[in-house]
């Protein structure tokens, strides 16, 4: 078995179009949530989202290439390019055949799908003809395939799709491949770009959306806010990274996943705590060694109180000593890409010794009575951290990170 380390990170989300700007915004406690500018909002009841600003696809891709790329694939490629550049890894000399490319997404090419249905139905006057590349653009595995083609990765390549746990499942699969020797390296992450009219109306119907902003764990919270973005990490065997003199950000030390086998939308503290306990065991970490948890923290009444119960169940007396924050308060809920941008936040917290805050926090809630690092970042060197993802369908995935 091999130790697995992260040697490169890439990120594009509402707080910033690269890791440096994203992390700077998070440390400042500045929320990137605001009124939608890209979706016609006249018929929307919920008009706040976390949009990526100042992103021009034409600056990143040739016109011919763009014909093949839905927005969710564009974002994944941008993040992957950042991660590979930061890592300095080269996939020549046979490494490409021993590298995995695994990308999580909950919905896939929703922009392409909505455009296709718009052409088809359009108030009864639409066209039955579709763009020939509709299927290759919208398929859930498209982002993973484009990563493999971009970097010449010919090892295991596939998508994971488990709603809001998709990215953490992608990292977990990649981690196990590298740890076991099935792969020497991996490009892993998650991406989502479904800020479309149809998607927003569908989420409105569930009645879990906040009309103003996302206030995880806070008294007075009103729900979640949708975001978009992508995060990608380069994973390598520790000995390979050391041998080539790579700048190791942290170790991906453990992974845990469970299924609630209960309700399709209501979370379970038993399932969530089980995934945390499994990640700790896999990493060989005692609960007392964890200093920070990047929480799933959606800002809904049910999620935040249940996650609080789960943390107490998993950590016992140490729960009151943990620093916990939900960066969704700043980048929104990126759904299948959430775990990816949150891994970036957790890894940078370990690297820099800075805990990003839970922004927009107003007042304590008796059902959420732990330390959520409200509103202001905290200087706090930590040895290890967890990053939680708990999805609809009771699909729980937790990553354990350790500073080297």
Active-site positions? 164, 296, 333
Q: Whole-angstrom Cα distance, residue 66 to residue 190?
A: 20
Torsion, Cα 314 170 143 356, to 10 degrees, reads: 40
> What's the angle, vertex CA 172, arms to CA 170 and CA 178, rounded to 5?
105
In a 13 Å sphere around the CA of 174, the CA atoms on its Cβ side amount to 36
CB 193 within 8 A of CB 71: yes
169 has which bridge partners? none
Strand partners, 358: 374
Tokens of 74: 């564009």
* Angle at 221 (CA atoms; ends 218, 297), nearest 5 degrees: 65
Alpha-carbon distances of 200 from 39, 226, 295, rounded to whole Å = 9, 8, 24
Q: Which residues pair with 354 in a beta bridge?
A: 379
**Residue 168 vs residues 125, 165, 213, 393: alpha-carbon distances, Å:** 42, 5, 25, 15
Structure tokens, 31: 């929320």
User: Are β-strands 290-294 and 250-259 bridged in parallel, bridged antiparallel, or unpaired?
Assistant: unpaired
User: For 87-216, where are the E strands, in sequence order?
Assistant: 99-104, 157-160, 185-192
């Amino acid at each position: 078995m091999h130790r697995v380390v992260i040697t490169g990170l890439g990120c594009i989300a509402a707080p910033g179009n690269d890791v440096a700007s994203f992390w700077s915004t998070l440390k400042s406690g500045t929320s990137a949530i605001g009124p939608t500018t890209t979706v016609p909002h006249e018929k929307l009841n919920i008009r706040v989202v976390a949009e990526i600003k100042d992103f021009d696809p034409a600056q990143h891709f040739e016109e011919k290439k763009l014909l093949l790329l839905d927005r969710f694939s564009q974002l994944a490629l941008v993040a992957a390019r950042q991660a590979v550049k930061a890592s300095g890894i080269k996939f020549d000399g046979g490494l490409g055949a021993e590298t995995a490319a695994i990308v999580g997404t909950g919905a896939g090419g929703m922009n392409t799908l909505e455009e296709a249905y718009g052409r088809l139905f359009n108030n009864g006057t639409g066209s039955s003809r579709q763009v020939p590349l509709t299927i290759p653009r919208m398929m859930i595995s498209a982002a993973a395939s484009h990563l493999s083609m971009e970097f010449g990765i010919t090892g295991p390549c596939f998508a994971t799709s488990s709603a809001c746990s998709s990215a953490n499942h992608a990292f977990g699969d990649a981690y196990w491949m590298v740890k076991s020797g099935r792969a020497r390296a991996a490009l892993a992450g998650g991406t989502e770009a479904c800020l479309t009219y149809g998607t927003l109306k569908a989420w409105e119907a569930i009645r879990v959306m906040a009309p103003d902003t996302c206030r995880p764990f806070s008294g007075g919270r009103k729900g979640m806010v949708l975001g978009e973005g992508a995060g990608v990490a380069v994973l390598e065997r520790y000995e390979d990274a050391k041998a080539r003199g790579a700048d190791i950000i942290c170790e991906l030390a453990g992974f845990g996943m469970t299924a609630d086998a209960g309700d399709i939308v209501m979370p379970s503290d038993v399932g969530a705590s089980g995934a945390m306990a499994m990640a700790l065991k896999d990493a060989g970490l005692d609960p007392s060694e964890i200093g920070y948890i990047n929480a799933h923290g959606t800002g809904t009444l049910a999620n935040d109180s249940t996650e609080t119960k789960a943390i107490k169940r998993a950590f016992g007396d140490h729960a009151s000593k943990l620093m916990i924050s939900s960066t969704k308060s700043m980048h929104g809920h990126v759904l299948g890409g959430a775990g990816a941008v949150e891994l970036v936040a957790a890894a940078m917290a370990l690297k820099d010794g800075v805990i990003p805050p839970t922004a927009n926090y107003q007042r304590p809630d008796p059902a959420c009575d732990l330390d959520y690092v409200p509103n202001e970042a905290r200087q706090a060197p930590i040895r290890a951290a967890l990053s939680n993802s708990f999805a609809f369908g009771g699909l729980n995935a937790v990553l354990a990170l350790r500073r080297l």
